C-alpha cells in the first residue's frame, strides 16, 4: 500500500481547480465536482525541473474467467484474494510513474461469472490498486456484459477506490466534463483516450455510455484533447481480430488516421495475443496488441502478454518518447494445497528464479516457449529484464 499512500492525486477541472488527496477516506467521484469546461485532469504533481521524465506502463487484457474467480475464493477463505496474481510484478509497477491496464470485466456484483458475460468480485480492483495500477481503461467488448447497471456499478467501485478510469460513462454530462482523461506527473501532461470496436451486440440505454470507434468522434475528441495542451496524447483502442498475431488492414488504416489527427502513440487490446509494435517516436509509435495480462486462456500465444513501457522526456527543446520496451509476462498456474493459483511471472526469468517461484520443469518449458515466441515476434524492440527478482529474496504470498 506504500505506493497508494505516496501518490498525490488531484482532480483538476479547467479552468478552475478541484483537488482531492488520495489519502482521503471518500475520494471525489466522477460527476460530483462542478465543471465549467469539459476536461478531466488528474495530477500526480511534482515540481517542474529543466528536464523531466515519466515512465509509463501499459498492460494487456485483465480477464476474469470462472477458474480465476474460484481460485481467488479458495485462496482467500471468506473473501476473494487476487493479490498473489500480481505479487512478482509489484516491484516493477512501483518503479513506474503511471500504470494503466485494460479492465475487460465488469464489477457488477454477484453472481460472479466468467465468460461470456463477465462479472468479477470487487476484490480484483482492490488487488489491482495494491499492485500499483493508477488507471483502468474500460471501453471494450465486455463493458456491457451486465447491462447499464453493471457498467455504472463498475465505475462506482473504481471511484470508491480512487482508481482513475476512462472509456465508459454514466451519462453524457459526465463524458463532456471528464473526457478525455488528462494525467499530469513530473511536470508532463498526458491526454488519454479509449475506444472499442463494439460490445458484443449489447446496447446501453445511454448512447454515450461506451466510447465506440468512430473516426468522426475520435477526430473531435483529439481536437478537444489538444485544448488541454498535453505533452503527449495516447489513444488506446480495443480492436482487431481475436487470436490473430498480426494486425489487419483496418487497424493499420485507423492507426494512420489517428496519428494524422493528433495522436502521438497508440496502444491496442482485444486479440488476446501479442501483435507487432511499429514506429519508434512521438507521432508514430503503435503497439497493436499487448495480449492477455491475466486470464485462463492456455493455448499457445494466449497464455501471456506484454507490459509495454514508455519513457517520456520533456526539456526546453521538446517532449519525446525517448525509449520504449516490453516485459513479457506469462500466467503461471501452480497447484497449492488450496487448489490452482494464478500468478504472473516475467517470462525472461532464468531457471534459478523460476524454481524459487515454484515453476515446475514442465511449466518452465511453456514459459520459455512463450518468451521465445514473443521475442521473435517483437524482434528489434527492446526487452525489459526482470532484475528485481532475486531467487534468494523471492517470497510467496499465496497464503491468506
Q: 3-state DSSP call for residue 371?
A: helix
* pLDDT for the residue 356: 86
* pLDDT for the residue 32: 28
Task: Go through the domains of the chain in sequence order and give each one's CATH number.
Answer: 44-383 (3.60.21.10)
Beta strands 304-314 and 319-332, pairing class: antiparallel
pLDDT tens figures, 128-154: 999 999 999 999 999 999 999 999 999
> Among residues of the chain, what percentage have pLDDT more than 90?
80
DSSP 47: -
**DSSP secondary structure string for all residues of 309-348:** EEEEEE-SS-EEEEEEEEEEEEEE--EETTEE--EEEETT
108's grid cell: 457488477
The band of 347, judged by pLDDT with boundaries at 50, 70 and 90, is very high
- The length of the chain is 400
Query: Rounded mean pLDDT of 98-110?
Result: 98
| Least confident window among 205-219, 279-293, 346-360 | 346-360
pLDDT(205) > 70: yes
Site of grid cell 524482434: 379
Query: Rounded mean pLDDT of 174-194?
Result: 97
pTM for the full model? 0.89
pLDDT tens figures, 283-315: 999 999 999 999 999 999 999 999 999 999 999
* pLDDT for the residue 30: 33
pLDDT(267) > 50: yes
Is the model more confident about 9 or about 183? 183
pLDDT(49) > 90: no
- What is the rounded distance in angstroms from the CA atom of residue 30 to the CA atom of residue 196? 21
Query: Rounded mean pLDDT of 223-238?
Result: 98
The band of 77, judged by pLDDT with boundaries at 50, 70 and 90, is confident
| Least confident window among 132-136, 143-147, 264-268, 351-355 | 351-355
Query: Rounded mean pLDDT of 328-357?
Result: 93
Give burial (CB, 10 Å; 0-12/13-18/19+) of 248. middle
* pLDDT for the residue 25: 31
pLDDT(352) > 80: yes
* pLDDT for the residue 228: 96
Amino acid at each position: 500500500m506504500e505506493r497508494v499512500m505516496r501518490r498525490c492525486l488531484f482532480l483538476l477541472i479547467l479552468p478552475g481547480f478541484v483537488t482531492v488527496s488520495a489519502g482521503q477516506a471518500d475520494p471525489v467521484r466522477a460527476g460530483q465536482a462542478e465543471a465549467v469546461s469539459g476536461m478531466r485532469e488528474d495530477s500526480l504533481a511534482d515540481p517542474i525541473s529543466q528536464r523531466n521524465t515519466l515512465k509509463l506502463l501499459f498492460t494487456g487484457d485483465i480477464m476474469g474467467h470462472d477458474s480465476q474467480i474460484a481460485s481467488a475464493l479458495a485462496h482467500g477463505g471468506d473473501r476473494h484474494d487476487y493479490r498473489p496474481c500480481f505479487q512478482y510484478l509489484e516491484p516493477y509497477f512501483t518503479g513506474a510513474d503511471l500504470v494503466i491496464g485494460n479492465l475487460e470485466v465488469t464489477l457488477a456484483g454477484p453472481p460472479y461469472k466468467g465468460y461470456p458475460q463477465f462479472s468479477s468480485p470487487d476484490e480484483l480492483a482492490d488487488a489491482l490498486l495494491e499492485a500499483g495500477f493508477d488507471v483502468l481503461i474500460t471501453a471494450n467488448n465486455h463493458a456491457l456484459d451486465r447491462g447499464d447497471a453493471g457498467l455504472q456499478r463498475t465505475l462506482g467501485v473504481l471511484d470508491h477506490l480512487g482508481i482513475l478510469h476512462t472509456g465508459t460513462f454514466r451519462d453524457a454530462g459526465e463524458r463532456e466534463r471528464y473526457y478525455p482523461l488528462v494525467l499530469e506527473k513530473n511536470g508532463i501532461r498526458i491526454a488519454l483516450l479509449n475506444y472499442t470496436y463494439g460490445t458484443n451486440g449489447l446496447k446501453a440505454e445511454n448512447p454515450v455510455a461506451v466510447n465506440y470507434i468512430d473516426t468522426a468522434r475520435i477526430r473531435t475528441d483529439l481536437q478537444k484533447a489538444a485544448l488541454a495542451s498535453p505533452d503527449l496524447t495516447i489513444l488506446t483502442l480495443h480492436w482487431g481480430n481475436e487470436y490473430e498475431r498480426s494486425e489487419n488492414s483496418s487497424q493499420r488504416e485507423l492507426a494512420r488516421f489517428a496519428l494524422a489527427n493528433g495522436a502521438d502513440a497508440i496502444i491496442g487490446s482485444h486479440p488476446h495475443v501479442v501483435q507487432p509494435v511499429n514506429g519508434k517516436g512521438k507521432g508514430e509509435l503503435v503497439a497493436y496488441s499487448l495480449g492477455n495480462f491475466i486470464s485462463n486462456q492456455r493455448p499457445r500465444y494466449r497464455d501471456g502478454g506484454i507490459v509495454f513501457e514508455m519513457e517520456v522526456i520533456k526539456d526546453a527543446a521538446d517532449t519525446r518518447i525517448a525509449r520504449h520496451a516490453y516485459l513479457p509476462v506469462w500466467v503461471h498456474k501452480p497447484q497449492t494445497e488450496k487448489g490452482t493459483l494464478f500468478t504472473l511471472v516475467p517470462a525472461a526469468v532464468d531457471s534459478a528464479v523460476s524454481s524459487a517461484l515454484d515453476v515446475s520443469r514442465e511449466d518452465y518449458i511453456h514459459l520459455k516457449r512463450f518468451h521465445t515466441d514473443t521475442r521473435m515476434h517483437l524482434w528489434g524492440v527492446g526487452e525489459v529484464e526482470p532484475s528485481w527478482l532475486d531467487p534468494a529474496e523471492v517470497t510467496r504470498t499465496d497464503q491468506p
